[in-house]
Amino acid sequence: MTKPVQGFSKLTKEEKIEWIVSNYTHDSESAKYLLKRYWNSDSDLQKLHDEFIENTITNYYLPLGIAPNFLINNKLYAIPMAIEESSVVAAASKAAKFWLDRGGFKTTILGTEKIGQVHFMFLGDTTKLKTFFNYIEPKLRSESSDITKNMEKRGGGISKIELRDKTSELANYYQLHCTFETLDAMGANFINSCLEQFAKTLEQEAQSFSDFNETEKNIEVVMSILSNYVPNCLVRAEVSCPVDELTDDENNATEFAKKMIQAIAIAKAEPHRAVTHNKGIMNGIDAVILATGNDFRAVEAGVHAYASKDGKYTSLTDASMEDGVFKFWIEIPLALGTVGGLTSLHPLVKLALEILQKPSAKELMQIVAVAGLAQNFAAVRSLVTTGIQEGHMKMHLLNILNQLGATDQEKSTLTKYFKKNTATHSSVVEAFENLRKEND
């Protein structure tokens, strides 16, 4: 039985690897070889990667692809996407090309407000607490001025500080609900530093506030933390064209538009469909967020909360057909940054941002929203026409052939075969085995 390890973080990388492969793998030499195989031969670059997180033993690669031909507000983009799932980049590219010839994507920033909260417990008179808050609100700002001065010089800073009474939801619970403008930074460290200073001021000033009794003076701050739910850090992306321009060689334009609208209506009405519908949107969004060094987990959490903002989980996209015009759009919260964090450290992140023409945070919000909308358009279009599996399985074909150990020649032969035949896992395996028998 493996024993708990002491001081693992203090071991060298070699020692960490030796411990993990010896205790948790069946073939320690093969495991060790695999881990080292993914090290970067450039020692400085490897050291940089090692220091991104704790207890690093190797690098974990994801493919970085490009989805070209995105016309956004009359400016052409090639969008970097880091993702492992087959067909995502292809689908985004196909949607980009489709709308390139129909006016492209239009985007609007609806807000950039970030949120943070100081959560605290107060046992006493709420009226006196409100009086106390009005008294200390200027001090909350002034005593955090060392933190905010640089942000303020660039045009950002603290927007608003509010006292919120949450006692109807939890006994004795109140919060300082604070909003911020962080410009091109995602702003997590800035916001959290401000909140922690607010908490100190809140507790200290309560001790000397003359209207409070002894119990009321002892405000208990539970935690101070930003929120990843940012419903007012919002971007809208849309496409539109005359319905008759939706036609192609395969689909009647009006029928296609009606099916698209009906599919969105189903995702609006049925949460089981909405979850998968929105997952497809996040295929595009997460891929760009990863490529640009942003926090996809924070975005995912905020986006799915936004999808539930009206009390029911529903589609993030909408579609309509009015006066002969088809319109497809998304409004989505995205708190992103183009400075700080990995954006200034990871070489490929810096390159991805350069490929995107060094966008501001607002511009990146628009690009990311468009990637999500394009992905959703491509997915829903497939669902209401050919079905999702035909395109997906053809893109997944190489993954299956690699799992089977196919040679380059076998991959070439079978790729040609499945251009005209339906690719399922079982049909690929069968075709591969038959090809091997033929060549024996």
**To which residue do tokens 């496409």 refer?**
239
E-state strands within 246-360: 317-322, 325-333
CA-CA distance, 77 to 170, in Å (whole number)?
48
First CA to last CA distance, the chain: 47
What backbone torsions phi and psi does residue 328 show, to the nearest 5 degrees?
-140, 125
* Residue 151, CB-side half-sphere exposure with 13 Å CA sphere: 25
Q: How many Cβ atoms are within 10 Å of 42's Cβ, its own excluded? A: 11
Closest C-alpha to 372, from 186, 235, 187: 235
Instruction: Report how far apart, in Å, the C-alpha atoms of 371 and of each of 51, 363, 418 are.
Output: 30, 13, 28
Closest C-alpha to 376, from 183, 137, 88: 88
Catalytic residue positions? 85, 279, 295, 392
Element (H, E) at 57: none
User: Would you state the structure tokens that stand for residue 288, as one six-digit string?
Assistant: 């760009």
User: Would you state the structure tokens that stand for residue 187, as one six-digit string?
Assistant: 């702003």
